Every structure is written in C-alpha cells, then in structure tokens.
Chains A and B, each alone.
Chain A
Amino acid sequence: LAKTTQPISMDSYEGQEVNITCSHNNIATNDYITWYQQFPSQGPRFIIQGYKTKVTNEVASLFIPADRKSSTLSLPRVSLSDTAVYYCLVVYSGYALNFGKGTSLLVTP
C-alpha cells in the first residue's frame, strides 16, 4: 500500500488560497489520489479525486505532476467553514485502507 505524507497542520486567513501537498512516492500504476475532508463529530467527506494532471470541481482543484509521486490540493479563497482535517489517500480498489494523520487546517478571520 502506498504511504502518504502530508503536513500535520496549516493555518490560513480567510480569503486566501490554501495548498496542501501530499507525498506518495511508492504510488502504483493503478492507484488514484483521493482527498477527503473531515469536520469534528462527522465522518470524512469526499472532496476530489484524480489520476494525473489537473482536476477541478466546485470545491477544489487537484494538481498531480507527471511522476505522480506527489499531489497538491488547492482550496481557493478559504472561509472559516473550511477549517477541518484534510486527508490524502492513495486508492486502488475503491476503498482506502490507510487514512493517515491528515492535515489540520485552521482558517482564521
């Protein structure tokens, strides 16, 4: 299973763009990169998934370089409600076995 490494925590002001980078050096050919968001007392919530290059949806963008050994989740103009833990997962067979510690994002006014 591919192991992921991401920052333990990040702070940001409202309105800024936040980029969270995840390393996954031993990603396999069939693995996808998936990001989840988790608020306190809730289950993780799917944000975005990609295989290579760039993926964008209404919530975030995901940048994946050609070697796929890392990925960057980009949250445009964060608000206070984006304060959460963000998990980077490398997924093959449709379910993640390792959530890792995630990145705790704190957005302040």
Chain B
Amino acid sequence: EAGVTQFPSHSVIEKGQTVTLRCDPISGHDNLYWYRRVMGKEIKFLLHFVKESKQDESGMPNNRFLAERTGGTYSTLKVQPAELEDSGVYFCASSQEEVTASSYNSPLHFGNGTRLTVT
C-alpha cells in the first residue's frame, strides 16, 4: 500500500510570502494529523482531522496557519504570511479509525515531511 505522501519535500520562501503544503494520507484513513518540528525543538502536534472535520486544532500556533481537508481525502496546510519562526519540518500522519478507547489504538503512519525554510 502507498504510504503517506507529502509535497513538496522542501520549500524555501521569503518572509511574508505564502506557502501551501499538501498531504495525501493512506487511502481509507479517516484520521489525518499535522505535526511540526521547528529548529532544535521537539515534534509538536498541530491539528487532527476526522474525515473533513477538524477534531482538534489546539496545536495551531496562530491564525496565519490554515488547514483544510475538503472531501476528506488530501489535506493542505497554508501559511500566510510566513514568518522566520515558521521554519521547520512539517509532518503529516494518518491512521485508521480507532476501534475503541479501551482497545488497541491505530498507530500513526507518517510522511517524510516538508522542510520549510523562511528567509
């Protein structure tokens, strides 16, 4: 099966510009997540989609970040306008629908990330 794919693998933009990252989850995975690691920091959760609905967006840093998942398939993460501190690696992950909270939790399948450099 094809894994989670992310595009582009690397993006270099100037401060103030707009960038859109794309994530294609594994087919059939209703749950889609965005994470990021900024330079020298830990991987942090940004938000979680269940199909096309935002289940949890508590990790989104500010309103310059907009995530969408129209149709419940691929997702985009737009940063507008980009700032220097947005530089980092943005990971997307997907998982099958959870069985129950008391049983096995579906593992996350990660893409290889998009490295964003804002200059």
Contact = CB atoms under 8 A, between A and B. Distances in A.
Interface residues of B, number: 26
Interface residues of A, number: 23
Contacts, number: 63
Interface string B97-119: 01001101111111111000000
A53 to B, nearest CB: 15
B45 to A, nearest CB: 5
B74 interface: no
Interface stretch (A9-17, A40-48, A71-79): A40-48
Interface in A64-109: 87, 91-101
A95 B4 contact: no
B58 to A, nearest CB: 8
A49 B4 contact: no
Contacts of B112: 41-43
A interface majority secondary structure: loop
B81 interface: no
Contacts of A44: 43, 91, 93, 108, 110
Contacts of B45: 95-98
B59 interface: yes
B43 A32 contact: no
A93 B98 CA distance: 8
A51 B98 CA distance: 16
A34 interface: yes
B99 to A, nearest CB: 9
Nearest to A46: B107
Nearest to A51: B104
Contact of A34 (B31, B35, B107): B107
Interface of B: 4, 31, 33, 35, 42-45, 48, 59, 91, 93, 95, 98, 101-102, 104-113
Interface of A: 30, 32, 34, 36, 41-46, 49, 87, 91-101
What are the nearest 6 A-B pairs in CB distance?
A43-B110, A46-B107, A99-B43, A94-B98, A97-B45, A94-B105
Given A42-B113, A43-B111, A46-B108, 17 more contacts: A32-B104, A41-B112, A41-B113, A43-B91, A43-B110, A43-B113, A49-B104, A49-B107, A87-B43, A91-B105, A92-B105, A94-B31, A95-B93, A97-B45, A99-B35, A99-B43, A100-B42
